[in-house]
Chain A
Amino acid sequence: MTALTESEPRSHERGERARRPGATLLEVSGVSVTFDGFRAINNLSISIGEPELRAIIGPNGAGKTTFMDIVTGKTRPDEGRVLWGEKSLNLLKMSESEIARAGIGRKFQKPTVFEAQTVRANLAMALKAPRSPFDVLFFRPGPDVAARISELAAEIGLAGELDRLSGELSHGQKQWLEIGMLLAQDPRLLLVDEPAAGMTPAEREHTTDLLKRAAEKHAVVVVEHDMEFVRRLECRVTVLHEGSVLAEGSLDHVTRDQRVIDVYLGR
């Protein structure tokens, strides 16, 4: 893994500048949301390619989480378009579960796992499989399911905890479990909200590796406050402020931007 982190920054940075990331997977354009008169999102436009790793930073209240809420169908915008995939599906007309089945997975800011169930059950529930009630009722896990769960558990460092209740896990382990559940869904777009919160430096490093590897094939959007973490991601950065894009580009580029320094970094 160390070799990968050594070599990747330059190649990735070059790739970032040389070409636009793959075909556009998610296109958010002109979206606005108002909560009781407060404009949480103001004419926001972002497009994410596939594969691509994108970090979204910005001060509290900039609309980072609301952006994810809109994409996943939790919040309906007042205006604007959110289009998805080759067929340009309108995500605004789909329910949360339809959006998730279309291939958008989300890790929440506060780890939300099913605490009354084991780590194994949590992963099994997230694992990619038909989701209708009758499919679930007649679902019989084959050996491939167990193998995939062990593989994921090893990846997230919970191989020894598979049969523990996830409510007993530490905060950091719950974060990991949720990342594992996200990977288990095998989505095309991973929306990751503050993955590094509550993690040790070693765990943060592991998370960056994991996200970077996921971004080789998928689209990954990371919301994070920790600039050191974002720096290690070595990806294109979008700075949000008051619900719209303030700056976009490499981390070095945006951190030199005077407006970014004023509203975010300067504080």
Chain B
Amino acid sequence: MTDTPHSLGRKYPGGGRHGRAIGPSDNGDGEAAPPPAGRRADHGETGKPKYWVLGLLFLFCFAVTIMSEAAGTGTISTSFVKTLGKTLCLCLAAIAMDVVWGYTGILSLGHMAFFGLGGYMIGQWLMYARTEAIVLENLASQPIPATPQEIQNAIGSQIFGVVGSSDLPPIWGFAHSLTLQLALVVLVPGLLALVFGWLAFRSRVTGVYLSILTQAMTLALSLYLFQNDSGLRGNNGLSGLQNIPGHEQTSQAVISLAFFWASALAFAAGYLLFSWIVSGKMGSVIRGIRDNESRVRFLGYPVEGFKLFVFTLTAVVCGLAGALYYPQAGIINPAEIAPIASIYLAVWVAIGGRGRLYGAAIGAAFVSLLSSWFTGGGAPPLDLGFYRILWTDWWLVLLGLSFVLVTLFAPKGIGGLFDFLVRKPEADREGDYGPDAGSRRAEEGPEDEEART
């Protein structure tokens, strides 16, 4: 887990400096040469991938817009535009997961719960406002205008008839207001993460125990939401979220494209935010916490505060991503919050490559799109003669297998492939070169001197 994702380029200046690797006894007498240009330092996400990602994202969005049904060409179906928009939201959750896991070393199995909570919060408003519009339309034909109480009751029985109730529970108290529900999109995941994180980090729960704790939180939350009296329609969840109140006349083609762009912008903003956080001193400290927490503590950094900051911030970003995802998905139910969703998130980040933001995004996009291709029946069955592999049944086996293989043989994930593209020739530090690996033999000294001048 300590493999650094940042040593992309040449690790070592090479050339005449090798002879100096032996010891610091010659304490830098006039040898403080400026670092050679083009050398990569370990500053977290360096500038380049950031511009590549955002540039490609913009081109991609532009291409999707042109090819969408909303633009008239219709090369890409509306449902596929929705899939792409949802994928961008998952990518946003994945880069948040990468910051909390890949950079800070907290393997949270709860970030999809925050994602789901964001979805529930926006879903409450979407459902309430739409039901209200329908109720008002129905009541408009009656001779006597309905009282607010009657309207409220009608909305309540519309939404909660399915779980055998007609009262709006108190947690729907803000559902009439988009502004308040949007605030809750941030506050509910944020406060849950803050309180949970404060309790967990303060007691110095780390490693696999922390993962289990976050998973327990996720499980408890989804089990609670499965109950009919949870106030959020039990296992029915919230539905009809693709219908945006006030835009009943707008076609889904246009709405899907608007959400696609909103998701892309949110992803871009999230990417910029996280690449700022993981660069510079903050990135240095959180990677220090990942690699050696107690050493960071002995340097005087309040480790718990840093963890809490990262945990809460990434939870809020996941909540926002969820709030953009579920209007595109159209439905949310407690199964979306179940621990398996958060485990998938970790699998995406691991396959994409921990410790680099673009890796996590690639992992999420690649695996989730592949997953919908396989499970949606897109992949042709594989005929082995004695057995026919139907991918709808075997996809999870394939995913599990590739997760194991990636962890064992390519710990840097898909993102690690980019190292081959940008890697410059590295000084050979292996072999018989003197007292430590990589330092040259004494007889090579004169040659070194020549190379230096």
Contact surface of A with B, Cβ cutoff 8 Å:
72, 74, 95-98, 100-101, 106, 108, 112, 114-118, 120-121, 124-126, 131-134, 136-137, 139, 141, 150, 153-160, 162-165, 167-168, 170, 172-173, 176, 181, 185, 199-200, 202-203, 206
Give the residues in chain A near B438, CB-CB below 8 Å.
168
Q: Do B41 and A163 have beta carbons less than 8 Å apart?
A: yes
Q: Do B292 and A112 have beta carbons less than 8 Å apart?
A: yes
Taken together as a complex, chains A and B put the C-alpha atoms of A153 and B32 apart, in Å, by 9
Q: Do A136 and B28 have beta carbons less than 8 Å apart?
A: no
Cβ of B419 to closest chain A Cβ, rounded Å: 15
Give the residues in chain B near A164, CB-CB below 8 Å.
11-13
Cβ of A78 to closest chain B Cβ, rounded Å: 20
Q: Do B27 and A133 have beta carbons less than 8 Å apart?
A: no
Give the residues in chain B near A162, CB-CB below 8 Å.
35
Cβ of B33 to closest chain A Cβ, rounded Å: 6
Q: Of A114, A125, A156, which contacts B24 at CB under 8 A?
A: A156
Q: Do B297 and A124 have beta carbons less than 8 Å apart?
A: no
Q: Do A132 and B305 have beta carbons less than 8 Å apart?
A: yes
Question: Is B453 interfacial (CB-CB < 8 Å)?
Answer: no
Question: Is B282 interfacial (CB-CB < 8 Å)?
Answer: yes
Taken together as a complex, chains A and B put the C-alpha atoms of A121 and B279 apart, in Å, by 11
Cβ of B298 to closest chain A Cβ, rounded Å: 6
Taken together as a complex, chains A and B put the C-alpha atoms of A101 and B13 apart, in Å, by 35
Q: Do A159 and B298 have beta carbons less than 8 Å apart?
A: no
Q: Do A202 and B25 have beta carbons less than 8 Å apart?
A: yes
13 A-B pairs whose Cβ atoms sit less than 8 Å apart in the complex: A74-B298, A95-B297, A95-B302, A97-B297, A97-B298, A97-B303, A116-B291, A121-B43, A124-B281, A125-B299, A157-B25, A162-B35, A206-B24
What is the chain A residue whose CB lies nearest that of B31? A160
Which residues 1-57 of B have a CB within 8 angstroms of A?
2-4, 6-7, 11-13, 17, 20-28, 31-33, 35, 39, 41-43
Q: Do B298 and A168 have beta carbons less than 8 Å apart?
A: no
Taken together as a complex, chains A and B put the C-alpha atoms of A114 and B25 apart, in Å, by 22
Q: Do A96 and B288 have beta carbons less than 8 Å apart?
A: no
Give the residues in chain B near A202, CB-CB below 8 Å.
23, 25
Given A153-B28, A154-B27, A165-B11, residue A181 in contact with residue B299 (CB < 8 A): yes
Which residues 276-327 of B have a CB within 8 angstroms of A?
277, 280-282, 284-285, 287-288, 291-292, 294-303, 305-306, 309
Q: Do A163 and B298 have beta carbons less than 8 Å apart?
A: no
Q: Do A159 and B281 have beta carbons less than 8 Å apart?
A: no
Work out how many contacts link A and B, with CB atoms closer than 8 A. Answer: 154
User: Majority SS of interface residues in chain A?
Assistant: helix
Given A136-B285, A163-B35, A168-B12, residue A185 in contact with residue B300 (CB < 8 A): yes
Cβ of A127 to closest chain B Cβ, rounded Å: 9
Taken together as a complex, chains A and B put the C-alpha atoms of A165 and B12 apart, in Å, by 8
Is the interface on chain B under 10, 10 to 19, 20 to 34, or 35 or more residues?
Answer: 35 or more
Question: Is B432 interfacial (CB-CB < 8 Å)?
Answer: no
Given A97-B300, A153-B28, A158-B24, residue A118 in contact with residue B288 (CB < 8 A): no
Taken together as a complex, chains A and B put the C-alpha atoms of A101 and B297 apart, in Å, by 10
Residue picked from A112, A117, A131, A139, most chain B C-beta under 10 Å = A117
Q: Of A155, A163, A176, which contacts B39 at CB under 8 A?
A: A163
Cβ of A5 to closest chain B Cβ, rounded Å: 16
What per-residue 1/0 map shows which CB atoms of B411-453 lie under 8 Å from chain A? 0000000000000000001000000101100000000000000
Give the residues in chain B near A203, CB-CB below 8 Å.
23-25
14 more A-B residue pairs beyond the given contacts A96-B297, A159-B31, with a C-beta to C-beta distance below 8 A: A114-B292, A115-B2, A131-B301, A133-B282, A137-B282, A154-B32, A160-B20, A164-B12, A173-B23, A176-B24, A181-B299, A200-B23, A200-B25, A206-B24
Residue picked from B42, B291, B295, most chain A C-beta under 10 Å = B42
Q: Do A125 and B28 have beta carbons less than 8 Å apart?
A: no
Taken together as a complex, chains A and B put the C-alpha atoms of A87 and B289 apart, in Å, by 31
Q: Of A74, A155, A163, which contacts B294 at CB under 8 A?
A: A74
Q: Do A185 and B299 have beta carbons less than 8 Å apart?
A: yes
What is the chain A residue whose CB lies nearest that of B2? A116
Taken together as a complex, chains A and B put the C-alpha atoms of A120 and B280 apart, in Å, by 12
What is the chain A residue whose CB lies nearest that of B43? A121
Cβ of B201 to closest chain A Cβ, rounded Å: 12
Taken together as a complex, chains A and B put the C-alpha atoms of A139 and B305 apart, in Å, by 16
Give the residues in chain A near B292, CB-CB below 8 Å.
112, 114
Taken together as a complex, chains A and B put the C-alpha atoms of A114 and B7 apart, in Å, by 14
Taken together as a complex, chains A and B put the C-alpha atoms of A131 and B281 apart, in Å, by 11
Give the residues in chain B near A115, CB-CB below 8 Å.
2, 291
Q: Do B301 and A97 have beta carbons less than 8 Å apart?
A: yes
What is the chain B residue whose CB lies nearest that of A169? B21
Taken together as a complex, chains A and B put the C-alpha atoms of A156 and B24 apart, in Å, by 7
Cβ of A161 to closest chain B Cβ, rounded Å: 8
Give the residues in chain A near B295, CB-CB below 8 Å.
108, 112, 114
Q: Of B43, B294, B299, which contacts A126 at CB under 8 A?
A: B299
Closest 3 CB pairs of A and B: A157-B24, A159-B28, A100-B300
